[in-house]
Chains A and B, each alone.
Chain A
């Protein structure tokens, strides 16, 4: 996906009505502020990604928009309804795929869909048609009578997607839809979501901590960290916003603290990120020139290079640029730590 696909039926995103509008939304748990005044808008038919590491606040954001947790302050309009004032109207307008696989394992695929259609009060005849249609859309028609526990992880995720669509929602929320899936299943889910977007004109808001997923699926991305929105734009815009057009990945045979300083001094280099064990990611305006300089530097010092490669800027680099760190799980401080072993090195 690129910015080119941010138009649906030929209408630019900016000219389409707003499906989701979030203004200065805040979520507090006691003294802890999980979401700190985030604002953004999603146009109808757009796929909007919330990108961020675990604990960044993206699930809290999606839960507020889907009426699962109350909003502390600010306003969120979904499908034209205020999530705080008209939660039932919001619920009718949206489909939600939670992070966990929550379909009933003891029920069949069709029974799972039927029960959710009933929870949305879909009339009997319409229910049958909708179930047929969503089964077809997620390619589970031949598995309709199979017990959910017999399905693979990818198929279960497709069932969750079908379940979220069984009442024909206008807006679709997906909380980390490919977490725990193998690469083949992930790609299948991406293709399915792209197909659904074009055939059903769905507005989608998804959270992910996979950069490639956001890059391939989303028309626009908002990067969230520590409860704040640190950057927003199309994947191309975000990549452009990072100084330097290329990333040079270099792996020196020997670790030396002086490497970072030497690399930083090179012409055109805007940032150097040490990755450990002599591995560095160098953001530069000219990949070829920096590559040459690194080779010359290594030769002059008699050092060996294990590997050297040039890439275009990725969303990983965008994230590092805006948050100052790579995507990773939030570290949890231990409640207590063992005292140091006598004689151990600090």
Chain B
């Protein structure tokens, strides 16, 4: 026990003496949170839409007034008048403008005679986000223009009433669980992967191996230290990230305890997985090469950014055994939904079993000799 704690002590002293290491393992996820959170979370404004009016009738004027309303209020787009449809299409293609609305000749007459009036909308669909936003905005304008002037006192159509259980979740809040998990993973990757192999290559482990320390003490000493570092990263990111994202619920004592349990269980799972992957590796380049691949392989199938139900079966299969899935599900259940212990008990159970199993598999693989 004393020998195991000596390994933990050595690892923790080294960790606290390397401020750059601590900053790097915290800064990267925070930057990711801020950049991705703001990049995905913002509304599209200030795009440019050309209007080609071949009608000039009263209904065409209505359409143009509706566009002016958008430009003045929601600011999704501003309009520019074009006289030539071909030129407008060419400018969309070359990126000078984002879309073009074509109001055909006889448009007003067709509206008045109910003769299938149509508006043309040319859009650059190579930019999914902008084109979707413009299409949605344009569709809502058309729906508004289609609404009858005089509505029935009792609605005859079926309406869907949406009840949102939780307060509005912006992207910063939505990405926070992923960010905390990522901070823990980076800490494990650096501490349990790169530094572990670097120590091996520098001969530090050779120094351990000539002492009477047992294989069990050495493996568990290294892993306890790794898990402590990941827990510290997770706790720091939870606090800092919650302050940035404005997620006050995290500071409730019960939620705090639930988060701590998830962070501890997640750290054990991540560390066990990393130790199993690295237990027979000697080349310091291997963990560095694996860093990016593992990140993609584990983070994306977990549903951290996109729901797993949209993934192909093979990706969903990865998600089933991926500890990220359970860490992020647990974090979301606690941070965004305040789901209580019931919502995270399966996640906690899986992560503990996963962590202990990987360690038990890695221990016999660990070589007590060089």
Q: Chain A interface (Cβ within 8 Å of chain B)?
A: 63, 66-70, 88, 91-92, 94, 96, 98-100, 102, 104, 106-107, 111, 115-116, 118-121, 147, 163
Whether B369 sits at the interface, judged by CB under 8 Å, is yes
Give B78 Cβ to nearest chain A Cβ, in Å. Answer: 58
Bound-complex Cα distance A63 to B207 (A): 12
CB–CB B6/A102 < 8 A:
no
Whether B212 sits at the interface, judged by CB under 8 Å, is yes
Least CB separation from B210: chain A residue? A96
Task: Kindly identify which residue among B13, B206, B207, B212 contacts A88, using a CB–CB cutoff of 8 Å.
Answer: B212
Task: Kindly identify which residue among B3, B206, B209, B212 contacts A92, using a CB–CB cutoff of 8 Å.
Answer: B212
B194-219 CB contact bits vs A (8 Å, 1 = yes)?
A: 00000000111011111111000000
Give B12 Cβ to nearest chain A Cβ, in Å. Answer: 11
CB–CB A106/B13 < 8 A:
yes
Give B76 Cβ to nearest chain A Cβ, in Å. Answer: 54
Whether B247 sits at the interface, judged by CB under 8 Å, is no
Of listed B5, B203, B206, B210, residue having the most chain A CB within 10 A: B210
CB–CB B203/A107 < 8 A:
no
Give A234 Cβ to nearest chain B Cβ, in Å. Answer: 29
Bound-complex Cα distance A213 to B305 (A): 64
Chain B residue numbers with a CB within 8 Å of A106 are: 13-14, 17-18
Task: Kindly identify which residue among A66, A99, A102, A119 contacts B3, using a CB–CB cutoff of 8 Å.
Answer: A119
CB–CB A100/B210 < 8 A:
no
- 8 extra A-B contacts, CB within 8 A, seeds A102-B202, A119-B208, A120-B212: A67-B369, A69-B369, A91-B210, A91-B212, A106-B18, A107-B10, A118-B2, A118-B5
Give B229 Cβ to nearest chain A Cβ, in Å. Answer: 14
CB–CB B369/A118 < 8 A:
no
CB–CB A102/B210 < 8 A:
no
CB–CB A68/B9 < 8 A:
no
Whether B370 sits at the interface, judged by CB under 8 Å, is yes
CB–CB B14/A102 < 8 A:
no
Q: Which of B32-64 contact A (CB under 8 A)?
A: none
Chain A residue numbers with a CB within 8 Å of B210 are: 66-68, 91, 94, 96, 98
CB–CB A98/B206 < 8 A:
yes
CB–CB B203/A98 < 8 A:
yes
Bound-complex Cα distance A98 to B208 (A): 11
Chain A residue numbers with a CB within 8 Å of B6 are: 115, 118-119
Knowing A67-B210, A106-B17, A119-B208 touch, does A100 contact B203 (C-beta < 8 A)?
yes
Chain B residue numbers with a CB within 8 Å of A104 are: 10, 13-14, 204
CB–CB A118/B209 < 8 A:
no
CB–CB A116/B211 < 8 A:
yes
Least CB separation from B9: chain A residue? A115
Q: Which of B43-102 contact A (CB under 8 A)?
A: none
Bound-complex Cα distance A121 to B4 (A): 10
Give B232 Cβ to nearest chain A Cβ, in Å. Answer: 17
Q: Chain B interface (Cβ within 8 Å of chain A)?
A: 2-3, 5-7, 9-10, 13-14, 17-18, 202-204, 206-213, 369-370
Give B105 Cβ to nearest chain A Cβ, in Å. Answer: 76
Chain B residue numbers with a CB within 8 Å of A102 are: 202-204, 206-207
Of listed B13, B206, B209, B212, residue having the most chain A CB within 10 A: B212
CB–CB A121/B209 < 8 A:
no
Bound-complex Cα distance A83 to B2 (A): 24
A-B contact pairs, 21 of them (CB 8 A): A91-B210, A92-B212, A96-B207, A100-B203, A100-B206, A102-B203, A104-B13, A104-B204, A106-B14, A107-B10, A107-B13, A107-B17, A111-B13, A115-B6, A118-B5, A119-B3, A119-B6, A119-B211, A121-B3, A147-B17, A163-B207
CB–CB A98/B369 < 8 A:
no
Bound-complex Cα distance A100 to B206 (A): 10
CB–CB B206/A115 < 8 A:
no
Bound-complex Cα distance A101 to B370 (A): 17
Bound-complex Cα distance A178 to B206 (A): 18
CB–CB A118/B14 < 8 A:
no
Knowing A102-B203, A107-B13, A119-B6 touch, does A63 contact B370 (C-beta < 8 A)?
yes
Chain A residue numbers with a CB within 8 Å of B203 are: 98-100, 102
Give A329 Cβ to nearest chain B Cβ, in Å. Answer: 20
CB–CB B2/A121 < 8 A:
yes
Bound-complex Cα distance A147 to B212 (A): 26
Give B97 Cβ to nearest chain A Cβ, in Å. Answer: 58
Bound-complex Cα distance A163 to B212 (A): 14
Chain B residue numbers with a CB within 8 Å of A99 are: 203
Least CB separation from A107: chain B residue? B13
Bound-complex Cα distance A282 to B14 (A): 56
Chain A residue numbers with a CB within 8 Å of B209 are: 67-68
Give A104 Cβ to nearest chain B Cβ, in Å. Answer: 6
Give B194 Cβ to nearest chain A Cβ, in Å. Answer: 15
CB–CB B207/A116 < 8 A:
yes
Give B23 Cβ to nearest chain A Cβ, in Å. Answer: 15
Give B240 Cβ to nearest chain A Cβ, in Å. Answer: 25
Bound-complex Cα distance A69 to B368 (A): 9
Least CB separation from B17: chain A residue? A106
Chain A residue numbers with a CB within 8 Å of B18 are: 106
Give B224 Cβ to nearest chain A Cβ, in Å. Answer: 15
Bound-complex Cα distance A66 to B210 (A): 6
Chain A residue numbers with a CB within 8 Å of B13 are: 104, 106-107, 111
